[in-house]
C-alpha cells in the first residue's frame, strides 16, 4: 500500500484541489493521511469529507513524521498541501518506476503556477536537482520513500529550520538508492513568492542551499519557518 501524507495548517483553500487530484489517480492501493497542526479553518472537515485519516501534526517535519507513524503502507508519499496540479498517472508511474529501479527514496521535478521568472527559477532548480542527484540529493514538494528507510533514519529532523526535506533525502541516500525522477510536472502554488516577495524567498533559498551544502543542516533560530499564513489564492 501507498500512504500519502500531507502536513497542513489552515489549508482550506488548497487542500480540496489536491485531494480531488488524488481521487482521480489511476492507482487504487493507497490511503491519505492529513497531519494537521491545529487548523482554525475547515481543513480538518475537508480532509475527513474526502475520507482521509486525520492525525495531529505540527510544522511540516513533525507533520510528516506523525503521518508516517500512522501509515499502514510500506511506501510513503509526502506531498505539500499547496500542490495545485498532479498528473492522473502520477502515483501509478512513480510507484512502478520506484520498484523497477529498486529505489529507497526519490524526489520529483516541481514547477510553479507563477510568473515567467518563477517558472525559470524552478526550471533551474529542477535541472540542478537532476544533475546533482548522485552526489547532493534534493527533495521538495513530493517525496516517495520506503517506510523501512524512513524509520531507519528516524524520519525528518524536526530541529531543522529550513531545507529539512533536502537533509532527509541526503540521509536516506546514505542507506538506500536515491533517484530524481523525471515525470510529468507537479505544479505548486506561487503563494509564498507572492506573499513574502520573490527576491526575499529566492535569496533565502539560495543562502540555505549554500549553508546546507557546506556547513550542514540549518538549525539556527535566525531562520524562521512560517507555516499556514499563506491562506488565500
Listed residue (138, 188, 149) closest to 6, CA to CA: 188
What CATH architecture applies to the domain 2-214? Answer: Alpha-Beta Complex (3.90)
CB 178 within 8 A of CB 105: yes
Query: Please, what are the averages of pLDDT over each run of 10 residues along the chain (233 residues)?
Result: 98 97 97 98 99 98 99 98 95 96 96 91 95 96 98 98 95 98 88 89 90 87 58 52
What is the rounded CA–CA span in Å between residue 124 and residue 88?
25
What pLDDT score does 229 carry? 53
**43 phi and psi angles, rounded to 5 deg:** -55, -50
Write down the pTM of the prediction. Answer: 0.92
For the chain, give every domain's residue range.
2-214
Q: Where are the beta strands (DSSP E) in 82-206?
A: 83-85, 105-107, 110-112, 142-146, 178-180, 186-188
What pLDDT score does 224 carry? 60
What pLDDT score does 43 carry? 99
What pLDDT score does 143 carry? 98
- Structural element, H or E, at residue 186: strand 186-188
What pLDDT score does 187 carry? 94
Q: Could you tell me which residues are beta bridge partners of residue 78?
A: 5, 143
What pLDDT score does 225 carry? 57
Amino acid at each position: 500500500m501507498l500512504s500519502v501524507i500531507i502536513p497542513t495548517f489552515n489549508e482550506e483553500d488548497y487542500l480540496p484541489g489536491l485531494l480531488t487530484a488524488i481521487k482521480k489517480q489511476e492507482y487504487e492501493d493507497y490511503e491519505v493521511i492529513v497531519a494537521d497542526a491545529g487548523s482554525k479553518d475547515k481543513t480538518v472537515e475537508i480532509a475527513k469529507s474526502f475520507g482521509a485519516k486525520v492525525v495531529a501534526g505540527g510544522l511540516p517535519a513533525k507533520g510528516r513524521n506523525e503521518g508516517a507513524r500512522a501509515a499502514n503502507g510500506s511506501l510513503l508519499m509526502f506531498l505539500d498541501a499547496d500542490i495545485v496540479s498532479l498528473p492522473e498517472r502520477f502515483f501509478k508511474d512513480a510507484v512502478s518506476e520506484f520498484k523497477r529501479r529498486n529505489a529507497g527514496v526519490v524526489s520529483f521535478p516541481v514547477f510553479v503556477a507563477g510568473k515567467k521568472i518563477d517558472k525559470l527559477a524552478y526550471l533551474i532548480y529542477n535541472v540542478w536537482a537532476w544533475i546533482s542527484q548522485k552526489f547532493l540529493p534534493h527533495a521538495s514538494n513530493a517525496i516517495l520513500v520506503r517506510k523501512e528507510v524512513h524509520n531507519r533514519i528516524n524520519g525528518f529532523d524536526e530541529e531543522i529550520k529550513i531545507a529539512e526535506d533536502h537533509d532527509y533525502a541526503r540521509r536516506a541516500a546514505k542507506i538506500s538508492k536515491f533517484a530524481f525522477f523525471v515525470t510529468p510536472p507537479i505544479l505548486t502554488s506561487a503563494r509564498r513568492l507572492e506573499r513574502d516577495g520573490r527576491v526575499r524567498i529566492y535569496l533565502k533559498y539560495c543562502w540555505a542551499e549554500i549553508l546546507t551544502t557546506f556547513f550542514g543542516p540549518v538549525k539556527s533560530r535566525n531562520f524562521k519557518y512560517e507555516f499556514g499564513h499563506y491562506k488565500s489564492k
